[in-house]
Amino acid sequence: MRRQVLVGALLAGALLAAAGCSGGGADAPSATPTPTAEARGRTLEETVATPSLANNILGDPAERDLVVHLPPSYDVSDARYPVVYFLAGAGEPAGRLRGSISLTWDLMVEAGHELIVVELDGRNSIGNNFYTNSPVTGNAEDALVVDVVAHVDATYRTIPEASARGLAGFSMGGSGTVNVGLRHPDVFTALYAASPGLFRPEDGLAGFLHDNGAWASYGAAFAPDPEAPRPHHLPIDPVVPLAEQDPAAVAAWEAGYGALEQKVDAYLALPDRLSAVRIVWGTRDSYRWIPEGSAYFGDLLAERGVPVSTLEFDGTHALDIGFPQDFVDFFGEHLAAG
């Protein structure tokens, strides 16, 4: 059973144009043609330089692996396309969407709104970079927003504007979608967070520590301490009450997946606006802090007047079986086409 709940401002309406990265291959018309019977989607793999990750304390390479899904009409047209960037979950390589991409392409064609989908991961030598900037794990947020977006716009026939860019992700990638997307409405206009790691204020961090322990890569990403021994983060004890621990360490660990009110306030202080946010989670997620945090965040956005919709489905910590249709419908409605 799937139950949809719309929260907050209506998602219909004109898309807000925002400044984006320039570039993008040869001049080409923007209208997407109807694919011929011979048209097929195509998936590519590449490793791209991401200078923003250079000089990280871990010594990890300054590069990212991408999986790029080009839509069915791409090779039989000279059209430009909107792009959705999909962020992998913790420990996952890029490519989670491979198994459903053929169905997704069919749904795009049926909807008449084709997209380029670019997958990337957040793995590193100690686990994950959480798509955030850290002196320990490197500037992973900049690697996405600056390096990867510029590469994709220069390499493929994109519509190189924020109004034609979406950001999505699962689990850790869902929290990355929220954190990066709220800070960069000048780069992405629509956000889709599936089972995101999000903390409600009263007990989210405690729930995370209970389920995950003091995850070393989380600490290195969000509570870095370059002077500390590897893995170079402010320490926290998952079995000691948070009120009895170093307040600075607790605040830093909380701010990674939490501090959502402050993040929304900072977003609202920016000149650009998101066109839509969608939050999706399973009611039987084994990480109970994820449904609780997701519901809290949806309510928070609605209270602050941010256009948001939520979807709860009867499932666990996974993408819903209806994800391809929901993904295509959401981005088809909220990304500008040519």
How does pLDDT run across 30-43, given as a tens digit for each residue? 344 444 445 789 99
- What span, in angstroms and rounded, lies between the C-alpha atoms of 266 and 232? 28
Q: What is the pLDDT of residues 156-185, one digit of tens each?
A: 999 999 999 999 999 999 999 999 999 999
Q: What is the pLDDT of residue 33?
A: 44
Lowest mean pLDDT among 9-18, 55-64, 171-180: 9-18
What is the overall mean pLDDT for the chain? 90
Average pLDDT for 120-142:
98
Say what the pTM is: 0.89
Assign 136 a pLDDT band (cuts: 50, 70, 90).
very high
Question: What percent of the chain is modeled with pLDDT above 70?
Answer: 89
- What span, in angstroms and rounded, lies between the C-alpha atoms of 66 and 118? 7
Q: What is the pLDDT of residue 40?
A: 87
Q: What is the pLDDT of residue 38?
A: 53
Which domains can be identified in the chain, with CATH numbers?
2-334 (3.40.50.1820)
